[in-house]
Amino acid sequence: MEGVYVDTSAICYIDGKGGKLYYRGYDVEELPERSSYEEVVYLLWYGRLPKKKELEEFKKNLAKNRFLPGEVLELMDKLPKSVHPMGALRTIISYLGNLDGEPSLSTGDVYQKGISVTAKMPTIIANLWRTKNGLDYVEPKTELGHAANFLYMLRGEEPTLREEKSLDVALILYAEHEINASAFTVMTVGSTLSDYYSAVVAGIGALKGPLHGGAVEEALNQFIEVGSPERAEEWFWETLRSGKRIMGAGHRVYKTYDPRARIFKNYARELGNPRLFEVAERIEELVETHLAEKGVHVNVDYWAGIVFHALGIPPELYTTVFAMGRIAGWTAHLAEYLTHNRLIRPRLKYVGEIGKRYVPIEERE
Ligand SMILES: CC(C)(COP(=O)(O)OP(=O)(O)OC[C@H]1O[C@@H](n2cnc3c(N)ncnc32)[C@H](O)[C@@H]1OP(=O)(O)O)[C@@H](O)C(=O)NCCC(=O)NCCS
């Protein structure tokens, strides 16, 4: 479906040639310094920036929805320790749907359930990791912002203002990106008038793959594997020779430098492990020199892992943090599509045979 416009939308505009990204008309490069994740969620859902009181209410509503039902904590304990956090997140969100018991899907419902799931995701992700590693459950703190509360629950201590800001910016940059594979999946499930949880669970499944959200974790792992800038060139050519891809590079829509990658790079330079940063910068140079003619440049996932690493977030959680941000965009697209819903049902061009004679099994020698 490369280049196919499935519908119209007023949520997000990507200028793939110019390397620009707009949420509801606002340049994403302006939002990190001036806004917050909660404000961006409001903007994406309701189409405008909130007034002071509206934002306060919205934040309060999110904060009070952070707590998990006891049944969810019990389920967390029972999940196999070997399961990847994205698989575990998928199961827990599905279970929240079972507990909610209201399967209907309307635009009003989407925002109400959107608040509940957006608020709970950080509690789920932080505590999935803690449970898996034999650490005690940490209750959310309602007085902290969305990003700070996640780092607090994950690490057991409140982050510095700079750490909080870095994660908040990451969540803003991951909040929305038009009709990528996961948003399309969410919309497709929603178009059958299934339910909010089923749509989000399907989106998590799509995001998990290494060609989509899974690339964040793999990008960081490749820098660790290379280990030193001197090894980068040999590794780069060997990777291409063996038909593999540089993770965190290339994009279906951007054919120039991803504007989100530029912002992440600044945070990675400031906070990241200097050795990893040097390795990544050397590989980036090679990508820009040898792959730019194919339209391949580094993307949002390239530098994000170095920032997450600096915040003490374990690599296996990176894609879940992406999902924690992207729940905003999935919810916005679902709600928008439901205002004029029509079942999404494309066609496949058939290239097989027709009119074949059925042969009874005894005669098939
Ligand atoms: C994102 C991605 C799936 C987009 O793929 P796509 O739009 O289908 O692009 P194509 O597979 O048609 O690639 C076009 C060319 O660029 C090359 N290319 C694309 N991404 C590449 C990468 N990451 N490393 C090396 N070469 C790459 C392809 O090999 C192809 O070369 P060819 O024309 O000589 O065969 C792809 O770039 C990729 O696999 N990237 C790595 C995973 C990643 O970072 N995903 C996160 C995306 S935000």
In this predicted structure, the answer to whether residue 103 has a pLDDT above a threshold of 90 is: no
Q: Are residues 182 and 223 in the same domain?
A: no
Q: Are residues 183 and 331 in the same domain?
A: yes
Question: Does residue 282 contact residue 232 with C-beta atoms inside 8 Å?
Answer: yes
Per DSSP, 317 falls in state G
What total of structural domains would you count in the chain?
Answer: 2
Domain for residue 33, yes or no?
Answer: yes
Ligand 1 binding pocket includes 342 (Cβ within 6 Å): no
Helices (H), 84-145: 85-100, 107-132
Domain boundary among 292, 310, 328: 310
Q: Are residues 168 and 298 in the same domain?
A: no
Of 196, 205, 146, the closest CA to residue 332 belongs to 196
Ligand 1 center to 294 CA (angstroms): 9
Mutate to test the pocket of ligand 1, among 180, 291, 296 (most ligand atoms within 8 A of CB): 296
In this predicted structure, the answer to whether residue 104 has a pLDDT above a threshold of 90 is: no
Q: Are residues 262 and 204 in the same domain?
A: no
User: What's the average model confidence in pLDDT over 3-14?
Assistant: 96
Ligand 1 center to 249 CA (angstroms): 7
User: What's the average model confidence in pLDDT over 263-285?
Assistant: 97
Q: Are residues 177 and 193 in the same domain?
A: yes
Q: How far apart are CA 258 and CA 249, in angstroms?
A: 10
Domain for residue 36, yes or no?
Answer: yes
Span 66-78, pLDDT tens digits: 999 999 999 999 9
Q: Are residues 177 and 281 in the same domain?
A: no
Q: How far apart are CA 305 and CA 317, in angstroms?
A: 10
pLDDT of residue 142: 98
Domain for residue 264, yes or no?
Answer: yes
For the chain, give the number of residues: 365
pLDDT of residue 280: 98
Ligand 1 binding pocket includes 287 (Cβ within 6 Å): no
- Residues involved in catalysis: 251, 301
Q: Are residues 78 and 191 in the same domain?
A: yes
Ligand 1 center to 182 CA (angstroms): 18
Q: How far apart are CA 70 and CA 96, in angstroms?
A: 11
Q: Are residues 161 and 295 in the same domain?
A: no
pLDDT of residue 108: 79
Question: Does residue 251 contact residue 304 with C-beta atoms inside 8 Å?
Answer: no
User: What's the average model confidence in pLDDT over 271-291?
Assistant: 97
Which CATH number fits the domain that encloses residue 81?
Answer: 1.10.580.10
Q: Are residues 186 and 269 in the same domain?
A: no
In this predicted structure, the answer to whether residue 18 has a pLDDT above a threshold of 90 is: yes
Helix (H) or strand (E) holding 230: helix 229-241
> What is the pLDDT of the chain when averaged over all its residues?
96
pLDDT of residue 106: 80
Q: Are residues 45 and 149 in the same domain?
A: yes
pLDDT of residue 1: 87
Can you give the residue range of the structural domain that contains 232?
A: 215-310
Ligand 1 center to 278 CA (angstroms): 23
Q: How far apart are CA 303 and CA 239, in angstroms?
A: 19
Ligand 1 binding pocket includes 195 (Cβ within 6 Å): no
Which CATH number fits the domain that encloses residue 288?
Answer: 1.10.230.10
pLDDT grade for 350, boundaries at 50, 70 and 90 = very high
Domain for residue 73, yes or no?
Answer: yes
Domain for residue 363, yes or no?
Answer: no
> Which atom in ligand 1 lies closest to the alpha carbon of residue 249?
23
Q: What pTM, to 2 d.p., does this model score?
A: 0.96
Domain for residue 168, yes or no?
Answer: yes
Q: Are residues 18 and 113 in the same domain?
A: yes
pLDDT of residue 107: 74
Q: Are residues 166 and 138 in the same domain?
A: yes
SS percent in the chain: helix, strand, coil, step 5: 60, 5, 35
Q: How far apart are CA 293 and CA 281, in angstroms?
A: 19
Ligand 1 binding pocket includes 249 (Cβ within 6 Å): yes
Ligand 1 binding pocket includes 247 (Cβ within 6 Å): yes
Span 200-251, pLDDT tens digits: 999 999 999 999 999 999 999 999 999 999 999 999 999 999 999 999 999 9
